[in-house]
Amino acid sequence: MALRRVILELGTGTDLHGGDYTKAALRALQDALHHSSLSFLRSLGLDAKQMHIEVTIGVQRPERVEREAIRAALPHGKIGVNVVKGGLDVPEEGEHDAAVIAAAAVAVRYELP
């Protein structure tokens, strides 16, 4: 059997004040998750614990995202988190209160024939 992607969802999230990259990343993850329902799990009798979930987060400062917080936001599966340079920082004029925009891609894979 091979791991096959069964769903890919995308989302965006922001932290408008405070420049919190983890908060923006978690909001992007939640946005992606709220776009889908994995009803096929029950229909096909698949075990949610056997899902392989790959989360990719794009932000301008990848080192400032707490990967464990991203992993903890997902209730099931074998979870991988990859944080890459992407997203967008929007500086506030005259102050140090950047708005952070994060992008998320969530891929779910199963061992299928």
pLDDT at residue 94 greater than cutoff 70: no
How many angstroms from the chain centroid is the CA of residue 79? 11
Fold of 2-112: 60s Ribosomal Protein L30; Chain: A; (3.30.1330)
Radius of gyration of the chain (CA): 16
pLDDT of 56 reads 98
Alpha helices in 34-112 (DSSP H): 40-44, 67-72
For the chain, the structural domain boundaries read 2-112
pLDDT digits (tens, 9 = 90+) for 59-87: 999 999 999 999 999 988 999 999 999 99
End-to-end CA distance of the chain: 5
* Full-model pTM: 0.90
Average pLDDT, the chain: 91
Sign of the CA dihedral 14, 78, 82, 112? negative
CA atoms of 57 and 70, how far apart (whole Å) = 9
